[in-house]
Chains A and B, each alone.
Chain A
Amino acid sequence: MPDRIALRNRISELEISKMFKERLLDSSNNVIAYLEPMFDKEGQIEDFVIKYVNNRIEEITSLETKDMIGMRWLEYDAQNLTNGVFDYAKNCFTTGETFDYISKYVFGDQVVWFSARLVKLEAGVVNFLKDISKEKEYEEQLLVQNRLLIEAEHVASIGSFRWDLNKGTLDLSENVYRLLHYEPFEIEPTFEGILKFIHKKDIKWVREVIEKSRKTKERIDITFKIVTKTGEERYVNTIGEYYPSANNWYVVGVFKDVTKQIEQESILQARNAELKKSNSDLEAFNRIASHDLQEPLRKIQMFISRLYDEEKGKLGPRSQNYLDKVISSTERMRNLISNLLSYSRIEEVDDTPMRIDLNEVLADVLEDLGQRIEETGASIDADKLPEINGIQFQLEQLFLNLIGNSLKYVEAGVVPMIRIKNTLVSVDRFNKISNLSPGNYHKLEFTDNGIGFDDQYGEKIFEIFQRLHGKNEYSGTGLGLAICKKIVEAHNGAIQGTSKNNQGAVFTVYLPSLSK
């Protein structure tokens, strides 16, 4: 009777075991194997026999259970020896202790990671293996990305942080430590601890900003000075955003070393201020000098003219010659001063631009030059000129200087011929002229038959005090064309000069058209 019961029990056990084998075990998502040890002559485990392995192995790898069962474990796959799993299994069997581990297998092209457990069961060990290849892959990717991030932070001089508002703890990226001249993770990162690096001049307002933002949860974006471990002062820009979590807030953000930018910026600012100052100094000096110089000069001329009146005819030829030279020199000086004065005044005109008819400007200027034109017999031929927006007296000065030059710089005995041509041009990205902004421009070409200039001086002639001729050859102050340039530029135009020696000059003036 007990035999029968035992037999029945045994049968049902076997049935259950079979069911386990074929159904339950196979439907597990883990690989399950049963291994029985083989002993050598000294009684040491030399290998295991694979007594059982479930189907799951076929799903993960290209192995087949029927090829495995009954095989010697190490003979079937020597990787178990090299990755240490054989040793774990031996230990498990001899000590009876359950053993958890992670192992890696390579099957052909396939790399499989298992998180596994070995449990002693009767005369062998059961090996449960969970495929964690996917997780491992993500982990690897994460590692790579982390490494990339660390690299990127390093390259960009950026460090990142995460600040737990409740605990006051800080997570800092490696580069934050480096920015402070520490080795990564060398110091304990706390909020209070990190504030100690802020320069004492900045700490007060930085604290205030942070305190305020803690209440408002507004983004922090501040730049302050820090003092590093080595005592070096650096500028750091800190940006932080508040993020809520359950019952807590985090600030996540970056530190960026902006020392270079700040230094360059301040150098630039200083240079700009200097430039502005020296510019306005220069203009003020110009104005004062020319105005105050005019006074004594006027008196000198006055006295000379009286001297001339009174001594006329009484002077010897040498003295007469000296007096003539004094007169012409003072005249030169007066020209120079009045030109300087108008040069320094071009930009400070308060007159609002008005609609100006350039035909009238030309007529006025020709009238002013009437005597010279008559003396030289010059001919001036002009197209119909446009109306533009501008400052009357400046445009008169422009025409006066350009036409005056053409009358002045001619070979002795040559009758000056001046032609003024007017065309409309359009400046856009295909047709760029000087640095004019896009739009329509009147192109006024002043062509003469004078001595011209060497084309290599095309730019130079517009610079202040550039004279291409000896003083005695042709009278000039070296300011005429500089004034022209300043006037044209004040009218948002451009001026260019071209010439070949002895073949006349062409001065081209571009002035913005009223039709945009």
Chain B
Amino acid sequence: MTKMKILLVDDDEDDREFFADALVGVNMNTQLQQLDNGKSCLDYLMEQIENLPNLIFLDLNMPIMNGFECLAEIRKNPKLKELPIAIYSTSSSDKDIEQTFLRGANIYIKKPSSFEDLKKSLTQVIKMNWAYHMDDFKKENFLLRI
């Protein structure tokens, strides 16, 4: 099985560390790339256009370019628009969540407050993403809120 390439875009260093550690704990074949704002995410994707990640975790509140804008840019680009995107944010506001789904997010994860929960969420999302890539279910069904 090839490695699943995961991109995490989050300006919070601690959260990136939690994420990376939890991902190790998930114990699946993954490879993590970390970036800290929407702009650097877009730049990276354009650079890696032949070698795109299999799943992007995107924080909303970030400097330079926030997650909303970044999400919209990705969905606008024909070469990127199929990328599975999981929003990974502290916001639990229904308005924010609705906005991200309207802009084409597949998954919304509210950043959990325990390491165990984080591991659980990541496991669930990554399993689902494998299924998606294996064409086990249709893209329009690839929606999840955690």
What residues of chain A have their CB less than 8 Å away from a CB belonging to chain B?
291, 294-295, 297-299, 301-303, 305-306, 309, 334, 350, 393
In the bound complex, do residue A305 and residue B90 qualify as a contact, i.e. CB atoms below 8 Å apart?
no
> Does any Cβ of A come within 8 Å of B130's Cβ?
no
In the bound complex, do residue B114 and residue A305 qualify as a contact, i.e. CB atoms below 8 Å apart?
yes
Digitize B1-23: 1 where CB-to-A-CB distance is under 8 Å, 0 elsewhere: 00000000000001100100100
**A302: which of B14, B91, B94 is its contact (CB, 8 Å)?**
B14
Q: How far is the CA of A299 from the CA of B94 in the complex (A)?
A: 22
> Does any Cβ of A come within 8 Å of B141's Cβ?
no
Within 8 Å CB of B94, what residues of A?
A: 393
Q: How far is the CA of A301 from the CA of B111 in the complex (A)?
A: 12
In the bound complex, do residue A301 and residue B113 qualify as a contact, i.e. CB atoms below 8 Å apart?
yes
Known interface pairs A299-B14, A302-B14, A302-B18. Does A334 touch B90 (Cβ–Cβ under 8 Å)? no
B108 shortest CB reach to chain A, Å:
16
In the bound complex, do residue B113 and residue A302 qualify as a contact, i.e. CB atoms below 8 Å apart?
yes
Q: Which of A302, A303, A393 has the most CB of B within 10 A?
A: A302
Q: Which of B15, B94, B115, B118 has the most CB of A within 10 A?
A: B115
In the bound complex, do residue B111 and residue A298 qualify as a contact, i.e. CB atoms below 8 Å apart?
yes
> Does any Cβ of A come within 8 Å of B140's Cβ?
no
The 5 A-B residue pairs with the shortest CB-CB distance, nearest first, are A301-B113, A305-B114, A305-B115, A298-B113, A306-B115
Within 8 Å CB of B115, what residues of A?
A: 302, 305-306, 309
Within 8 Å CB of A393, what residues of B?
A: 94
> Does any Cβ of A come within 8 Å of B116's Cβ?
yes
A302 shortest CB reach to chain B, Å:
6
Give the size range of B's interface with the partner: 10 to 19
B63 shortest CB reach to chain A, Å:
15
Within 8 Å CB of A334, what residues of B?
A: 113
Within 8 Å CB of B21, what residues of A?
A: 306
Within 8 Å CB of A303, what residues of B?
A: 14
B17 shortest CB reach to chain A, Å:
10
Within 8 Å CB of B91, what residues of A?
A: 291
In the bound complex, do residue B90 and residue A298 qualify as a contact, i.e. CB atoms below 8 Å apart?
yes
Within 8 Å CB of A306, what residues of B?
A: 18, 21, 115
A327 shortest CB reach to chain B, Å:
10
Within 8 Å CB of B114, what residues of A?
A: 301-302, 305
A498 shortest CB reach to chain B, Å:
35
Between-chain CB contacts (< 8 Å), 17 pairs: A294-B90, A297-B113, A298-B112, A299-B14, A301-B113, A302-B14, A302-B18, A302-B112, A302-B113, A302-B114, A302-B118, A303-B14, A305-B116, A306-B18, A306-B115, A309-B115, A393-B94
B42 shortest CB reach to chain A, Å:
25
**Given A298-B112, A301-B114, 4 further pairs, Cβ under 8 A:** A291-B91, A305-B116, A309-B116, A334-B113
Q: How far is the CA of A218 from the CA of B112 in the complex (A)?
A: 71
Q: How far is the CA of A303 from the CA of B94 in the complex (A)?
A: 27
B116 shortest CB reach to chain A, Å:
7
Q: Which of B78-127 contact A (CB under 8 A)?
A: 90-91, 94-95, 111-116, 118
Q: How far is the CA of A305 from the CA of B111 in the complex (A)?
A: 14
Chain A minimum-CB-distance residue to B115: A305
Q: How far is the CA of A304 from the CA of B91 in the complex (A)?
A: 21
Within 8 Å CB of A299, what residues of B?
A: 14-15
Q: How far is the CA of A406 from the CA of B42 in the complex (A)?
A: 52
Q: How far is the CA of A291 from the CA of B93 in the complex (A)?
A: 10
Q: How far is the CA of A298 from the CA of B12 in the complex (A)?
A: 13
B90 shortest CB reach to chain A, Å:
6
Within 8 Å CB of A301, what residues of B?
A: 113-114
B96 shortest CB reach to chain A, Å:
11
Within 8 Å CB of A298, what residues of B?
A: 90, 111-113
Within 8 Å CB of A350, what residues of B?
A: 95
B137 shortest CB reach to chain A, Å:
26
Within 8 Å CB of B90, what residues of A?
A: 294-295, 298
A412 shortest CB reach to chain B, Å:
28
Chain B minimum-CB-distance residue to A393: B94
Q: How far is the CA of A302 from the CA of B95 in the complex (A)?
A: 25
Q: How far is the CA of A295 from the CA of B18 in the complex (A)?
A: 14
A226 shortest CB reach to chain B, Å:
54
Q: How far is the CA of A303 from the CA of B90 in the complex (A)?
A: 16
Q: How far is the CA of A350 from the CA of B116 in the complex (A)?
A: 34
Q: How far is the CA of A305 from the CA of B95 in the complex (A)?
A: 29
Q: How far is the CA of A303 from the CA of B14 in the complex (A)?
A: 9
Q: How far is the CA of A306 from the CA of B111 in the complex (A)?
A: 15
A440 shortest CB reach to chain B, Å:
31
Chain B minimum-CB-distance residue to A298: B113
Within 8 Å CB of A305, what residues of B?
A: 113-116
Q: How far is the CA of A16 from the CA of B20 in the complex (A)?
A: 143
Q: How far is the CA of A303 from the CA of B115 in the complex (A)?
A: 8
Within 8 Å CB of A291, what residues of B?
A: 91
Chain A minimum-CB-distance residue to B113: A301
Q: How far is the CA of A334 from the CA of B94 in the complex (A)?
A: 19
Q: How far is the CA of A393 from the CA of B118 in the complex (A)?
A: 25
Q: How far is the CA of A361 from the CA of B14 in the complex (A)?
A: 38
Within 8 Å CB of B113, what residues of A?
A: 297-298, 301-302, 305, 334
A443 shortest CB reach to chain B, Å:
30
